[in-house]
Amino acid sequence: MKTWGWVMMTAMPLLAADSSLERMSDARLTVSQRNSACFEVRGQNTPEVRASMAKALQLDLLRACAAENLRAAGAIDELRQALADENPEIRATAARSLGSFGKPELLEPLAKAASDPNLPVATNGVYALSQYQDAVVFPYLEPVARKGGIVGIMALNRIFDLHDPEALAIARKLLSSSDVPDRVSGMRVIGAMGGKEDLPTLREIASKPSPVMVRQRGFGLMPSIDLARAAKATIAQIETRQGEHAQANTR
């Protein structure tokens, strides 16, 4: 027969969780106190806790804690639902959290987030996709990379880091972009992966010194970029690699 003490010991975690959830939603408490209450239930995976965390995503002051609690609880369904929220800050937070699971079934919704018109959502979508460690993610990053821009550069950098040969084709396309950072990002990849067939285009760019002040959305004017100088550096990198390869073949 179960003792009263055993019943109380079993009920205590549930009672503690209820108390924490009540304090978390108490608007009379300070932000710090409410976040402390949120932190107290981290790792708990009851329906009540998950529902409360999903609701807390709507609050700026609790969103980060709630998202981490949902991630720690493996609450994929709640986070995936939040990925479709009308509030872009919630979508961005959900995308960042979902990437940590590395689930193949999340690739499609995260790719959609990476193409979101809202920049923070899109950057967090690419960040989430970048947490996948194998080739399964390439088809989802490549369309984003081809578009260029801040998000596209992030995607290209990840494709390059994972040694996908498609990075070179994307980089070559970006050389004709009207966006200066796109072209510089393309040169970075071409310098590491390109060959003599890239030299004519690079030499043409190098022949036209043209420092440009760059305006990136959300960042204002960036320092000037000299495409000619960047092209010369890329040419030198390719020629150095070719020279080293030639020496290796003669040994």
Whether 174 contacts 148, CB under 8 Å: yes
Q: Is residue 243 part of a domain?
A: yes
Q: Is residue 6 part of a domain?
A: no
pLDDT in tens, 140-185: 999 999 999 999 999 999 999 999 999 999 999 999 999 999 999 9
26-30, 94-98, 206-210, 234-238: least confidently modelled range? 206-210
Helix ranges restricted to H, the chain = 4-24, 31-40, 47-56, 63-72, 76-82, 88-98, 107-114, 119-129, 138-147, 149-161, 166-174, 180-193, 199-206, 227-250
pLDDT in tens, 224-233: 788 999 999 9
Confidence (pLDDT) at 18: 78
Q: Is residue 93 part of a domain?
A: no
% of the chain beyond a pLDDT of 90: 79
- At residue 251 the predicted structure's pLDDT band, cuts being 50, 70 and 90, is low
Q: Is residue 203 part of a domain?
A: yes
Distance CA 228, CA 225 (A): 9
Q: Is residue 27 part of a domain?
A: yes
Question: Last residue of some domain: 74, 105, 140?
Answer: 74
The answer, yes or no, to whether residue 5 has pLDDT greater than 60, is no
Distance CA 223, CA 89 (A): 29
Question: Last residue of some domain: 55, 74, 93?
Answer: 74
pTM of the predicted protein model: 0.83
Q: Is residue 24 part of a domain?
A: yes
Q: Is residue 122 part of a domain?
A: no
Domain residues for the domain of 65 are: 20-74
Which of 156, 76, 90 lies closest to 118, judged by CA? 90
The answer, yes or no, to whether residue 250 has pLDDT greater than 80, is no
Sign of the alpha-carbon torsion through 142, 165, 196, 228: positive
- At residue 243 the predicted structure's pLDDT band, cuts being 50, 70 and 90, is confident
| Amino acid letter for position 48 | E
Six-digit token pair at 30? 């300070």
Distance CA 161, CA 251 (A): 30
End-to-end CA distance of the chain: 83
Q: Is residue 116 part of a domain?
A: no
The answer, yes or no, to whether residue 10 has pLDDT greater than 70, is no
pLDDT in tens, 84-133: 999 999 999 999 999 999 999 999 999 999 999 999 999 999 999 999 99
- Helix axis angle, 199-206 relative to 227-250, nearest 10°? 140
Count of structural domains within the chain: 2
Question: Last residue of some domain: 30, 48, 74?
Answer: 74
